[in-house]
Structure 1
Amino acid sequence: MRVALFAESFLPHMNGVTNSVLQVVRHLEEQGHETLVIAPRAAGQKADSLGSRTALVASMPLPSYPDVRVALAPTWRIRRLLEEFRPDVVHLASPFVLGWQALVAADALRIPVVAIYQTDVVSYTERYGVAGAAAAAANHVARLHRRSTLTLAPSSAAQAQLEQLGVDRIWRWGRGVDADRFSPARRSESWRARIAPGERIIGYVGRLAAEKQVEDLHVLSDLPGARLVIVGDGPERARLEARLPEAVFTGFLGGDELAEALASFDVFVHPGESETFCQTVQEALASGVPVVATGRGGPLDLVRSSVDGWLYRPGDLDDLRARVADLLGDDAKRRSFGQAALESVRARTWSALTEQLVSHYAEAARLRRFDDALLARGATRPLPPTSAPATRRWSSFVALGDSLTEGLCDTSRMREGEYRGWADRLASLLAQRSGADTPFRYANLAVRSRRVRDLVSEQGPRAIAMRPDLVSILMGANDLVGHGADPVALARDLERVVRDIRATGADVLLVTPFLPRRRAAMIFARRFAAFAHEIRRIAAETGAILLDVEALPELGDLSMYAEDRVHLGSRGHRLLAYRAAEVLGIPDAGALGDLDDALHADAPPASGWLRRHALPWVWRRMRGRTAGDGLVAKHDALVELAGRRAQTGDGSELSSPPLP
């Protein structure tokens, strides 16, 4: 695989971004992949002096932090580099300025882009107090990551931050640790005697900048028998030296010198609340040193409080002091925590993490192919079908939705002008499961062309009035293909209906809307992806049962669709019905669905698509009409299903019996 890596910061400035890029490049090349690093050029720096294939672009120093360079490369320059290298994937390390230029160029060349969220730029801008900068930074970060093929977040906290910004397609990928370099074996009594003779050492490693909150460590300066040691450099160093006169400042240490210092600490501390991961915490753990860190951000996933360290309450400096004092005063506990720390990182090698990264590259290539085929695969990782408990039973079921739930184009074994549909098929399966002696009632309130507003004003309230114990909702497609559709706003309206139904004690089956895998779906794919993401959130928060159609790629296959190229055909309705039955816990539903499909041979689509479907749709649109005008639901009251017959309240047979 050929990988182009764009580094927002790079050598000679060593930080978490630079270190991760160097490690990834090294291990990618060891695994047989080809790499190209594109990074800002520092004064006097030559690309051929860096060891790997590197292209350096013009840059300028950041005014408040001159060691950090801001790339000035135009998009045409980036595009030319990509055209010459011909990468299979573009890797954006902590993208912001250079990353955006790379994203635009890669997108034009249809190259998959993997964005690595590594720096909490929004929190940094808030801390530095630039008027309006935080909101602008948040908008830029959200736009960049939403446009990327997928994003890799290093921690649960980072993932939550991105989700709050509306970013979709987020996968988890941590950071590796060099276990050969960072090891308890590096502990040096001579180093300890030189730095803090006869004292316990409380150590910090990191950049000396405002966002790291190093000043908070002043509460540790007077702990008896202990010395605070600060390893690192940065714009805040002079001020911190004045604020912490009892501390030892070593300046920047790297390589084996850093490993020796870390292993020689007794306790490692990190007060920063804006860490997306915090690699130095992981390196301290690998060195067998217990950690005390703030209970916010990346450390939440790294430090197991009371096992290999402590997480103190963010902003509570008395708690920080107490946690450090606890470890300094108990040699046995400190040794136990240190051993647990070492064990916690044994599997986090850079080699293993790079293998995971390559699998993410492959996923990005797959997603990009789907995007180029004009079908999004999901806002976040699609959720595979998970069955409800097999013991759950329902006695009444109401289906809500539009033409898909009405059953349009599912004409299998139906009279002219009548349709079955996935919901009718599902109702029949549920009735058969309930047994011949147990009444099962069903209503289908779906009508073609209906929208979320109809769900809110009509279908939802009518369903609640019927007091069913199961309601299905598949709605939103007609809204999403409309001009100016807002997926998040639509989801909020749908969520109100879900919560109202759940408040009655009924279960809700939520189905994510979907698109056929056709070129014409391109302009709608992102909307459907964002809406699906919201549906997943609603299901998680309300306890609804979720059928995530994005996890059923076969449903996008054109063989599942009818001759109008928009609605499911009978085969698609069968598939959706059995997959819904599967998540509702009906035993062997998947196998039954496969058997049912094998026993059917659907008629090939009729010719004349333009005359029969496209032109009538255009004519209706021109007149402000819809296909559902004047129609009512086909089963607008609860009917009793028994065995393989469906009867109305007066005993007459249902005109469209929901039989499989």
Structure 2
Amino acid sequence: MRVALLAESFLPHMNGVTGSVLHVLRHLAAEGHETLVIAPRAGEITTDLHGARTELLRSVPLPSYPDVRVGFARAARLAAILREFDPDVVHLASPFVLGWQGVAAADALRVPTVAVYQTDVVAYAEKYGMPQASALAGRHLARLHRRATLTLAPSAASLRQLEDLGVDRLRRWGRGVDTERFGPERRSDAWRARVAPGELIVGYVGRLAPEKQVEDLAALAGLDGVRLVIVGDGPARAALERLLPGAVFTGHLTGDVLAETLASFDVFVHPGESETFGQTIQEALASAVPVVATGVGGPVDLVRSSVDGWLYRPGDLADLRARVADLVGDEGKRRAFAAAAGESVRERTWEAVCRRLVAYYDEARTLRPIDDALPRGSARRPSAPLARPAPPAGPRAWSRFVALGDSITEGLCDASRMPSGEYRGWADRLAQLLAHARGSDGSFRYANLAVRSRTVRGLVDEQVPHALALRPDLVSVLIGANDLVARRVDPVAVAAEVAGAVRRLRDAGIDVLLVTPFLPRRRATAIFARRFALFASELRRIADGTGAVLLDTAVFLDADGRPAIADLDLWADDKVHLRSRGHRFLAYRAAEALGVPDAEALGDLDAALHAEGDPVAQGTWLRRDALPWLWRRLRGRTAGDGRVAKHDGYVLIGGRGDVREQVRSR
């Protein structure tokens, strides 16, 4: 794989973003991947980049923090660099300024992007006294990450923060820890005797900047027999030295010297409330040093309070002092916490974390063609097929299945092996698959309440009450297409009605299969594509919020990277319904979503056994389909007027899928 890493900051300035990029480069090189780093030029680089190519761009120093450089490049310039490298994926490390141009360049080339959220720019703006800028930063971050193919966040808190900003496609990805470098064996009595002879050491490691809140450590002044050690550098150092005259300031440390210093602490403190993760906390734990950290943000996922450290109430400096005093005053507790700390990070190696990252790269590569097939501006994009949660152990033992919807679910144009004038359809086929998966006891019951031309209002007023009376354990809902092709419609409002129907079913303890509507790939349907995409976006939210199983038809792509369900070979001669092949496709995708074993293989076999074509339609499309439809519209009628559902009560389906008899539910 060829991976382009675009970093908002880079060497020679070392911070969490730079450190993560270096670890990723090392792992990718070890696995045989090719890499390119695009970053601001900030000075001479002497560090081993593990064979990565570099493109260093012009930059300017951040006014309040000159060690940090802000890179600038037009999207066209970045696109040229990427085009020459031809990456399979672009990794955006803590994107903000350069990252925005990077995601635009990748979009122009249709290359998937994985944006790694590492810096809480919104909180930083507030700490630097720029509340108006924080609001702008939040909106910018939301736009950027919604544009990325996939966003990785390091902690539960950062996931919630991005969700609150409206970012979708979120995945959890933490940071690894170098357990070969950081460990309790690095503890040095000589270092301790030189720095704080005869005293216990409470230490901090990190940037010395306002957002880190290092000034809060003044609350520890006067603790008997305790020396405060501050490791790091930054724009706040001079002020902190005046505020903390008794502390030892070591400056910036790296490598084995940092590992020795960290392992020689007795307690590690981290007061920052805007940490998306807290890498130095993880390194302290690996060094078997108990941690006292604020109980908000990234530290909450790393520190097990009362097990390997303490989480104090955010902003409560008296609580901070009390937690540190508790540990420095109890040697037995420090030893117990230290042992637990080392165990807690044993599996968090960079190798394991980077393997997970490569899997996310692969997922982004799957998602990108799905995104390219969607209309621009789709509010909530589908997840990758492999990312959809599957039932853990095959299908549930459903025994009563009711299908709701319109003509697609009624089965129009699926006349395969049916008497003249009768139709089969995807839901009938799914019922047979579910009965087959259940076994051969012949007790599977199926009703189909769908009627052609029905709208969401018909679903809500007629079909859902009828379904509830049948007391099913599984209901499918495919509805909305007739609403969306109306002259005026609000897709969000229509989806809200569907949401109410789904909640009624779920509140009754019924499992729901929710299917996103779809269109054929015809020029005439383009005027409706935006509506269908927005409606599908809302259905994804409904499924997330209600626990419904989602059959997202947008995620199944053909060889050209377009939605397979839109392929005209799956559509009937009337141009608005599926032919038998289309109904088979939809039925087996639904079976997969519900966990039917070997559904894909069964679908391939079924397709091979039904190689014959559908019946040839008689007459021209204009006379046969278009004019009758127009005449009904002019008269205010629909094709479903006066019709009843083909299975308004249960039919029994045997274990082999044969329909046995119609029964009435009590």
Global fold match (TM > 0.5): yes
Equivalent AA in structure 2 for residue 103 of structure 1: V
Are 1:562 and 2:571 an aligned pair?
A: yes
Distance (Å, rounded) in 2 between the aligned partners of 1:175 and 1:374: 33
Q: Which residue of 2 is the match for residue 419 of structure 1?
A: 423
Distance (Å, rounded) in 2 between the aligned partners of 1:191 and 1:33: 41
Deviation at 1:102, TM superposition (A): 1.1
Percent same amino acid at aligned positions?
Answer: 61
Further displaced range: 147-156 or 506-515 = 506-515
Distance (Å, rounded) in 1 between the aligned partners of 2:249 and 2:624: 74
Are 1:383 and 2:380 an aligned pair?
A: no
Contact 1:382–1:551 (CA<8 Å) still a contact in 2? no
Deviation at 1:288, TM superposition (A): 1.8
Are 1:508 and 2:518 an aligned pair?
A: no
Q: 1:580 to 1:6 in 2, by over 3 A?
A: closer
Q: 1:129 to 1:459 in 2, by over 3 A?
A: farther
Q: Which residue of 2 is the match for residue 33 of structure 1?
A: 33
Q: Which residue of 1 is the match for residue 79 of structure 2?
A: 79
Contact 2:478–2:517 (CA<8 Å) still a contact in 1? no
Q: 1:498 aligns with which of 483, 486, 502?
A: 502
Deviation at 1:19, TM superposition (A): 1.2
Are 1:219 and 2:219 an aligned pair?
A: yes
Deviation at 1:262, TM superposition (A): 0.9
Distance (Å, rounded) in 1 between the aligned partners of 2:260 and 2:158: 30
Q: Which residue of 2 is the match for residue 657 of structure 1?
A: none
Contact 1:378–1:550 (CA<8 Å) still a contact in 2? yes
Q: Which residue of 2 is the match for residue 445 of structure 1?
A: 450
Aligned length: 644
Contact 1:512–1:550 (CA<8 Å) still a contact in 2? no
Q: Which residue of 2 is the match for residue 471 of structure 1?
A: 475
Are 1:603 and 2:608 an aligned pair?
A: no
Q: Trace 1:100-499 onto structure 2 (pairs within 5 A).
A: 100-372=100-372, 378-379=382-383, 382-386=387-391, 393-395=398-400, 397-427=401-431, 440=445, 442-448=447-453, 450=455, 452=456, 455-456=459-460, 459-460=463-464, 463-464=467-468, 470-476=474-480, 491-499=495-503
Further displaced range: 54-63 or 588-597 = 588-597
Distance (Å, rounded) in 2 between the aligned partners of 1:323 and 1:617: 80
Q: Classify the secondary structure of the residue corresponding to 1:635.
A: coil
Distance (Å, rounded) in 1 between the aligned partners of 2:313 and 2:552: 38
Q: Classify the secondary structure of the residue corresponding to 1:272.
A: coil
Equivalent AA in structure 2 for residue 240 of structure 1: L
Q: Which residue of 2 is the match for residue 635 of structure 1?
A: 645
Q: 1:352 to 1:618 in 2, by over 3 A?
A: farther
Distance (Å, rounded) in 2 between the aligned partners of 1:130 and 1:215: 19
Q: 1:390 to 1:76 in 2, by over 3 A?
A: closer
Q: Which residue of 2 is the match for residue 24 of structure 1?
A: 24
Cα deviation digits, residues 337-379 of structure 1 (max 9, x gap): 3233223323333334333333332332333344456699823
Gapped runs of 5+ residues in structure 2?
Answer: 654-658
Distance (Å, rounded) in 1 between the aligned partners of 2:122 and 2:494: 28
Q: Which residue of 1 is the match for residue 656 of structure 2?
A: none
Q: Trace 1:567-582 onto structure 2 (pairs within 5 A).
A: 567-574=577-584, 576-577=586-587, 580=590
Distance (Å, rounded) in 1 between the aligned partners of 2:618 and 2:642: 28
Deviation at 1:417, TM superposition (A): 4.7
Distance (Å, rounded) in 2 between the aligned partners of 1:265 and 1:454: 69
Further displaced range: 29-38 or 369-378 = 369-378
Distance (Å, rounded) in 2 between the aligned partners of 1:391 and 1:29: 44
Q: 1:547 to 1:203 in 2, by over 3 A?
A: same
Q: 1:584 to 1:57 in 2, by over 3 A?
A: closer
Distance (Å, rounded) in 2 between the aligned partners of 1:198 and 1:309: 23
Q: Trace 1:528-567 onto structure 2 (pairs within 5 A).
A: 535=539, 538-539=542-543, 541-547=545-551, 556=564, 558=567, 561-563=570-572, 567=577
Further displaced range: 438-447 or 59-68 = 438-447
Q: Classify the secondary structure of the residue corresponding to 1:132.
A: helix
Deviation at 1:16, TM superposition (A): 0.5
Q: 1:590 to 1:73 in 2, by over 3 A?
A: closer
Contact 1:208–1:237 (CA<8 Å) still a contact in 2? yes
Deviation at 1:585, TM superposition (A): 7.5
Q: 1:404 to 1:331 in 2, by over 3 A?
A: farther
TM-score (norm: length of structure 2): 0.82
Deviation at 1:40, TM superposition (A): 1.6
Deviation at 1:17, TM superposition (A): 0.6
Deviation at 1:612, TM superposition (A): 6.8
Deviation at 1:93, TM superposition (A): 0.5
Further displaced range: 354-363 or 135-144 = 354-363
Are 1:69 and 2:69 an aligned pair?
A: yes
Further displaced range: 178-187 or 402-411 = 402-411
Distance (Å, rounded) in 2 between the aligned partners of 1:223 and 1:517: 73
Contact 2:514–2:543 (CA<8 Å) still a contact in 1? no
Distance (Å, rounded) in 1 between the aligned partners of 2:234 and 2:21: 21
Contact 1:439–1:640 (CA<8 Å) still a contact in 2? no
Contact 1:508–1:544 (CA<8 Å) still a contact in 2? yes
Distance (Å, rounded) in 2 between the aligned partners of 1:65 and 1:525: 48
Equivalent AA in structure 2 for residue 600 of structure 1: H
Q: 1:480 to 1:85 in 2, by over 3 A?
A: farther
Q: Which residue of 2 is the match for residue 653 of structure 1?
A: none
Equivalent AA in structure 2 for residue 111 of structure 1: V
Deviation at 1:319, TM superposition (A): 3.8
Q: Classify the secondary structure of the residue corresponding to 2:261.
A: helix
Deviation at 1:53, TM superposition (A): 2.9
CA RMSD of aligned residues (A): 4.4
Deviation at 1:507, TM superposition (A): 0.4
Distance (Å, rounded) in 1 between the aligned partners of 2:414 and 2:389: 26
Distance (Å, rounded) in 2 between the aligned partners of 1:212 and 1:617: 71
Q: 1:36 to 1:577 in 2, by over 3 A?
A: closer
Q: 1:435 to 1:489 in 2, by over 3 A?
A: same
Deviation at 1:608, TM superposition (A): 11
Q: Classify the secondary structure of the residue corresponding to 1:39.
A: strand
Cα deviation digits, residues 98-152 of structure 1 (max 9, x gap): 0111111121122222211111222323444424333322222222122222222
Cα deviation digits, residues 498-538 of structure 1 (max 9, x gap): 223333x2403132426589697999999878866765654
Equivalent AA in structure 2 for residue 117 of structure 1: Y
Cα deviation digits, residues 456-507 of structure 1 (max 9, x gap): 566445645666554322345667789999877665443222223333x240
Q: Which residue of 2 is the match for residue 658 of structure 1?
A: none
Distance (Å, rounded) in 1 between the aligned partners of 2:165 and 2:620: 42
Cα deviation digits, residues 53-93 of structure 1 (max 9, x gap): 32222222223333222222122222222233333322110
Equivalent AA in structure 1 for residue 209 of structure 2: A
Q: Classify the secondary structure of the residue corresponding to 1:311.
A: strand
Q: 1:232 to 1:461 in 2, by over 3 A?
A: farther
Cα deviation digits, residues 237-283 of structure 1 (max 9, x gap): 33433443443332322222222221111111222232222111111
Further displaced range: 577-586 or 313-322 = 577-586
Equivalent AA in structure 2 for residue 507 of structure 1: I
Q: Classify the secondary structure of the residue corresponding to 1:494.
A: helix
